Amino acid sequence: MNPIWVDDEGVLVGHGPNIRLDPGVGSDRFEHALSALRDSGRPLAFASFTFDEAETGSVMVIPHSTTIETGLSIPGPPSGVTMVDDGIAQWRSGFRIAMNAIETENLAKVVLARQVVVAVPEDLDSTGIVARLTMGNADCYLFCVEGLIGASPELLVSLKQGRVRTLALAGTATDPDELESVKISEEHRHAAHSVSSVLSQYLADIDMTEQVIVRHGAMSHVGTRIEGPAIAGTTVSEILAGLHPTAAVAGTPTKAATDLIREMEPQSRGRYAGPVGWMNANGEGVFAIALRCGQVEGNRMTLFAGGGLVEGSEETAELAETELKLAPMLTALGQPSS
């Protein structure tokens, strides 16, 4: 399976023979990844890291060569995909745990993820799924790295030619007017602050901060774009170590939220909500947060969708948000979304 990365600059495809490795655990795994790439003598690697730094399972794919394509051939949807577990019961249990913690503990926000399991044909064409994702998600970051396939709206960090860019997203609604609610404003405030406070350590100057409304399909999000020149010698691996996990995928305070996620989500997130993208041997790269995605495991695929919970979050509305976020992958698999 060739690794693939798609953004507004084209389709980056890796070609074998590939070197595959796990860069390990802990916050220094990003630096280990860059070191491994440099030691390989090859110019570029695709990488996908676990959400939880304590978990193994991060992966680097260092291809023999890469090409930049203008597009992908779009096949018809796969056949024979069936629902195994809609994940709703486990999500509801997690919601109760989360809201109780928000009410009784020093926790401002926590992100709860829902996992949906579908059975897929053994001959699932990963490249075809990525190609089908391009039809309705052209303005997202599309990826396929070792069975993790998705279309993320959220740029975690781009470091190219000495310039850093990021887009902190938090707050989702079908009607853009709903993004002005107190709940969404509070959710986004935590996410934007968690990113800007870290980036200030790596930027010589923050020369652009802009709040925008970002629309992807049926969903609108509140986003904050942050850009500026990097301090000389800064690498994308350093920035990843500082940024991940943001409040957009964990919560606030980070450690308390991450500990609670382990309690309310008994099934590991794996590489969902972790950084996914590419880096080169010069220390540059582009990484999104692995959202709107699914992990192929044998003849099954686990799809993921999450949302930030704060004081006042309502169960029905939050569950409906996960349905919206599952829609891109379900559509790519030829399945109707709710």
Closest-CA residue to 248 (of 200, 288, 217, 205): 288
Residue 186 vs residue 71, higher pLDDT: 71
Convert the pLDDT of each residue in 105-154 to its tens digit: 989 999 999 999 999 887 778 899 999 999 988 889 999 999 999 999 99
For the chain, what are the domain ranges?
A: 4-332
- pLDDT(47) > 70: yes
Q: Are 49 and 273 in contact (CB under 8 A)?
A: no
pLDDT for position 337 = 62
Share of residues in the chain with pLDDT > 90 (%): 71
Q: Which two tokens stand for residue 83?
A: 């629902």
- pLDDT(189) > 80: no
Residue 301 confidence class, pLDDT cut points 50, 70, 90? very high
Average pLDDT over residues 169-191: 74
DSSP state of 338: -
- pLDDT(92) > 70: yes
Of the listed ranges 40-44, 80-84, 251-255, 295-299, the least confidently predicted one is: 295-299
Evaluate whether the domain defined by 4-332 bears CATH number 3.60.120.10: yes
Rounded-to-integer distance, Cα 207 and Cα 51, Å: 30
Rounded-to-integer distance, Cα 64 and Cα 39, Å: 14
pLDDT for position 210 = 81
Rounded-to-integer distance, Cα 77 and Cα 61, Å: 27
Average pLDDT over residues 299-304: 93
Rounded-to-integer distance, Cα 306 and Cα 197, Å: 23
Rounded-to-integer distance, Cα 48 and Cα 50, Å: 7
- pLDDT(178) > 60: yes
What are the backbone angles phi and psi of residue 256, rounded to the nearest 5°?
A: -60, -40
* Distance from chain centroid for Cα 91: 19
What are the backbone angles phi and psi of residue 129, rounded to the nearest 5°?
A: -65, -45
Convert the pLDDT of each residue in 235-273 to its tens digit: 999 999 999 999 889 999 999 999 999 999 989 999 999
pLDDT for position 338 = 57
Greatest distance between any 2 Cα atoms in the chain = 53
Q: Give the three-state DSSP class for 196.
A: helix
- Tell me what the pLDDT averaged over the chain comes to: 92
What are the backbone angles phi and psi of residue 336, rounded to the nearest 5°?
A: -70, 140
Q: Give the three-state DSSP class for 229.
A: strand
pLDDT for position 266 = 86
Residue 90 confidence class, pLDDT cut points 50, 70, 90? very high
C-alpha distance from residue 99 to each of 79, 141, 300, 314, 316 (Å): 39, 31, 31, 9, 13
DSSP bridge partners of 85:
117
Average pLDDT over residues 300-317: 94
Q: Which two tokens stand for residue 150?
A: 């998705």
